[in-house]
A and B are shown apart, each in its own frame.
Chain A
Amino acid sequence: MTASAPRRLMTLYLPLSLASIVLLFPFYWMLITSIKTDRELIDLNGLPFWVFQPTLEHYRVLFAETGFLRWALNTLTISVVATAISLVCSILAGYSLARLRFRGAGAIAGAIFVTYLVPQTLLFLPLLEVVRQLGLSNTLWSMILTYPTILIPFSTWLLMGYFRSIPRELEESALIDGASRLRAMTQIVLPLALPGILSAGIFAFTLSWNEFIYALVFTNSTDIKTIPVGVVTELVKGDVYFWGSLMAGALLGSVPVALIYSFFVEHYVGGLTAGAVKG
C-alpha cells in the first residue's frame, strides 16, 4: 500500500526540500562567497545567488598570506593526540566500569557522567589559571591535555554500553583457560568492541576539531592557534572583513569533519544516540 504521488509530495518531498534548503543554504552561501571577486561581493544590484566570474584569489590569500596552513596542522595535531589519549583512558575506564565488580563502581560511573555535563564556559577561567600554573599557556599542550576532559566522559559511557553488550561467557571461558584478565580484555573484548571504539574516536576527533573557547582563551600567538580560532580572530583586521578569505577558511575548516563524518555516518549516529537510546 503506497501513498498516492500528490500526497507523498505534500507529506514528504515538499517539506523535506524546504528543510534541506534552510539547513544547507548557509553552506552554499559560504561556497559562492568564497569564489566571488571582491567587486561582485559588494555589488548590490546583481543577482547574489550566483557567481559570474569565479575566482580562487581568496584561497590563494588564505594559504599565502595567513597562518591557515599552520592552524590546520595545529588543529590536526591536537585533535589526533587528544583523541588518542581519550580513547586509551576511556577504553580502560569503560571496561573497568562495565565488566569488573568492585566497590564504588556506581558512584564513579555517576561522577564521570556528571563531568560530561559540565560546560566549558563554566570552567574556562579557572582552567586558564591551572594552565598558567602548569606553565602551559600558549602551547599546543594546553589544548592536548584539556580536551580529553570534554572527550573522556562521553567516550567512557559509549564504550561501557558496547562492553556490556559483549557476552560475558566469551571472556570467562578465556579466563578458565588460564588467560589473565588483561589478556582476556585485549584479545577478546577489545576486538569485539571495535565499532564502539571507532564511534568514540570519530566523535572525539570531531569534538576536538570543533572546540573553540579553550583554544581561544589559552592561546595568543598566531603560531599556536587552531583553525576556528585563527579564522575568527585573525582574518578580521580592525573593522575590515575579508569576506572571501573568511568564507574560504570557514569552508576548508569544515570540510575535514564533514568528510570524516559522511564516511562514518552510521557510526556517528550510533555514537550520538547511544546515550539517548541505550541510557
Chain B
Amino acid sequence: MRAETRERPVTAGQLPTIGELLDRQGVLAYVLLLPGLLILTAFIGWPFVTSLWLSVTDQSVSTSVVRFVGLENFTDELRSQIFLQTLRNTFVYTGVTVVFKLAFGLGLAVLMNQSFRLKNLARAALLLPWIVPTALSAIAWLWLFDATFSVFNWAIVRSGLADRGINWLGEGQWAMTSIIIANIWRGTPFFAISILAGLQTVDRELLDAAAVDGASLWQRFWRITIPLIRPVLLIVLLFSTVQTISDFQLVYVLTRGGPANSTHLLGTLAYDVAVRAGQLSQGAAISLYMFPVLIVCVVALLVYMRRSST
C-alpha cells in the first residue's frame, strides 16, 4: 500500500506535478510538438501572412507611407508583357521538363531494375546530378553553353553539322531550351530512383504468371507494372511539378532571366522586381501567382494520401 501511494500521490484538490502532466498523452503530445510548430509558424506561417499583406499594399524601398491597393499589384502584372512571357515560360518549363523527366526516369528505373554487377555503384553515380548543389552544377552548364567555348558547339562544328555554333544562352528560344535541358538532367535521377523503389515492390510472381499465360513483355509492363507503381508515379509527378514551377537556381545562374527577360520564371522575376528593383509588393504579387498551382498539387496529394491510407 505504501509503495503504491508513493508512486501515485494524486489526491483530490492537489495540483499534478510536471512529471504527471507529461504522462498524460494530450499534454505530452503538445509539449513535444511545440518546438517544431514554433519554428514553422514563425518562419512559414508568419511570412506567408506577411506576403499576402505585402501583395495588397504598395511597399517599395522608396515608399514611406504604406497604402492599401487591393488587387492592383496582381492586375498590373497581367498588363505587363514581361510578366505574361514569364507565366508562359513557367508553364512551358514545368510541362516540358516534367514529361521528359518522367519518361527518362521511367526508362532508367527499368534499366536499373535488372541485376548486374556494380549495380550499387551505378545507382550512387547516377543520382549525382540530383544530389549536388544545383547552383554549382549549373556553373558547369554555364560553361558547357558558353557562346564561344561551348563544347557542344565544338562538336557541332567539328562534325560538320553546321559551320557556326549555337548561341545557347544568348537567343530567347535557345536559352529556354538550354535551361530545360539542364533541368531535365538534374531532375531525371530523382524520378529514376523513386520509380526504381516502386518497381522493386512489384511482385515478380505476378509477372511470371502473366508470362506463362502468354502476355508479352510489353503487355506485362503496361497492364501490370504501371498500374502497380501508379501511386509512386503520381507522388513523384506532383512533387516534381511543385519543385519545377518554383525553380530559381538554374535560371539565376544560367541566364538571370535574359536575354531581354525572355527566360524568367516566376521566382526569378519576383527576385528581380523585389530585391534588385526594390518593388517589394509587386514582387510578392508575382510570387503568389504560383499559389493556385501549388494548392491544386497539395490538395491532390492530401486527397490521394487520405484515400490510400483508409
Known contacts A123-B51, A231-B135; 6 further A-B pairs (Cβ under 8 A):
A26-B140, A148-B43, A149-B44, A276-B194, A276-B197, A276-B236
A16 to B22, CA, bound (A): 55
Q: List, in ascending order, chain A residues with CB within 8 A of B47's CB.
A: 123, 126-127, 129-130
Q: List, in ascending order, chain B residues with CB within 8 A of A128's CB.
A: 275
Q: Identify which of residues 24-74 in chain B touch chain A, using a CB-to-CB cut-off of 8 Å.
A: 25-26, 28-30, 32-33, 35-37, 39-40, 42-44, 46-51, 54
**Stretch in contact with the other chain, from B76-84, B93-101, B167-175, B286-294:** B286-294
Pair B44/A115 contact, Cβ less than 8 Å = yes
Which B-chain residue is minimally distant from A261 (CB atoms)?
Answer: B131
Task: Decide yes or no whether B221 CB sits under 8 A from chain A.
Answer: no
Pair A253/B136 contact, Cβ less than 8 Å = yes
Number of B residues contacting the other chain (C-beta, 8 Å)? 100
Q: Identify which of residues 138-166 in chain A touch chain B, using a CB-to-CB cut-off of 8 Å.
A: 145-146, 148-149, 152-153, 156
A 267-279 to B, binary, CB cutoff 8 A, 1 in contact else 0: 0110011011101
Task: Decide yes or no whether A69 CB sits under 8 A from chain B.
Answer: no
Pair B294/A27 contact, Cβ less than 8 Å = no
Which of A126, A180, A231 contacts B48, CB < 8 Å?
A126
A 82-107 to B, binary, CB cutoff 8 A, 1 in contact else 0: 00010011101101110011110100
Q: List, in ascending order, chain A residues with CB within 8 A of B37's CB.
A: 93, 108
Q: List, in ascending order, chain B residues with CB within 8 A of A92's CB.
A: 32-33, 35-36
Q: Identify which of residues 186-230 in chain B touch chain A, using a CB-to-CB cut-off of 8 Å.
A: 188-190, 193-194, 197-198, 201
A236 to B278, CA, bound (A): 23
Interface of B is mostly: helix
Pair B149/A42 contact, Cβ less than 8 Å = yes
- Known contacts A41-B149, A105-B29: does B40 contact A279 (CB below 8 Å)? no
A 202-237 to B, binary, CB cutoff 8 A, 1 in contact else 0: 000010011011001100000000011101100000
Which B-chain residue is minimally distant from A91 (CB atoms)?
Answer: B32
A89 to B34, CA, bound (A): 8
Which of B46, B143, B197 contacts A269, CB < 8 Å?
B197
Pair A15/B111 contact, Cβ less than 8 Å = yes
Task: Decide yes or no whether A52 CB sits under 8 A from chain B.
Answer: no
Min C-beta distance of A251 to chain B, whole Å: 8
Q: List, in ascending order, chain B residues with CB within 8 A of A51's CB.
A: none
Q: List, in ascending order, chain A residues with CB within 8 A of B298's CB.
A: 114, 117
Q: List, in ascending order, chain A residues with CB within 8 A of B43's CB.
A: 127, 130, 145-146, 148-149
B 275-303 to A, binary, CB cutoff 8 A, 1 in contact else 0: 10000100110011011001001100110
Pair B133/A112 contact, Cβ less than 8 Å = no
A-B complex: 10 closest residue pairs judged by Cβ atoms: A119-B246, A121-B267, A126-B50, A89-B36, A273-B197, A126-B47, A254-B132, A126-B51, A96-B32, A228-B135
Min C-beta distance of A28 to chain B, whole Å: 9
A216 to B302, CA, bound (A): 32
Task: Decide yes or no whether A250 CB sits under 8 A from chain B.
Answer: yes
Pair B136/A228 contact, Cβ less than 8 Å = yes
Please list the residues of chain B having a beta carbon within 8 angstroms of any beta carbon in chain A: 7, 19, 22-23, 25-26, 28-30, 32-33, 35-37, 39-40, 42-44, 46-51, 54, 107-108, 111-112, 114, 116, 120, 122-129, 131-137, 139-141, 143-144, 148-149, 151, 154, 185, 188-190, 193-194, 197-198, 201, 231-232, 235-236, 239, 242-243, 245-249, 252-253, 266-267, 270-271, 274-275, 280, 283-284, 287-288, 290-291, 294, 297-298, 301-302, 305, 308
Q: List, in ascending order, chain A residues with CB within 8 A of B120's CB.
A: 265
A279 to B238, CA, bound (A): 14
- Known contacts A123-B48, A250-B140: does B29 contact A102 (CB below 8 Å)? yes
- CB within 8 Å: A-B pair count: 291
Interface centre among A19, A113, A249 (most CB of B within 10 A): A19
Which of A210, A276, A279 contacts B133, CB < 8 Å?
A210
Please list the residues of chain A having a beta carbon within 8 angstroms of any beta carbon in chain B: 11-13, 15-16, 19-20, 22-24, 26-27, 29-30, 33, 41-42, 44, 48-49, 85, 88-90, 92-93, 95-97, 100-103, 105, 108, 110, 112-115, 117-130, 145-146, 148-149, 152-153, 156, 178, 180-182, 206, 209-210, 212-213, 216-217, 227-229, 231-232, 243, 246-247, 249-251, 253-254, 257-258, 261-262, 265, 268-269, 272-273, 275-277, 279
Pair A117/B301 contact, Cβ less than 8 Å = yes
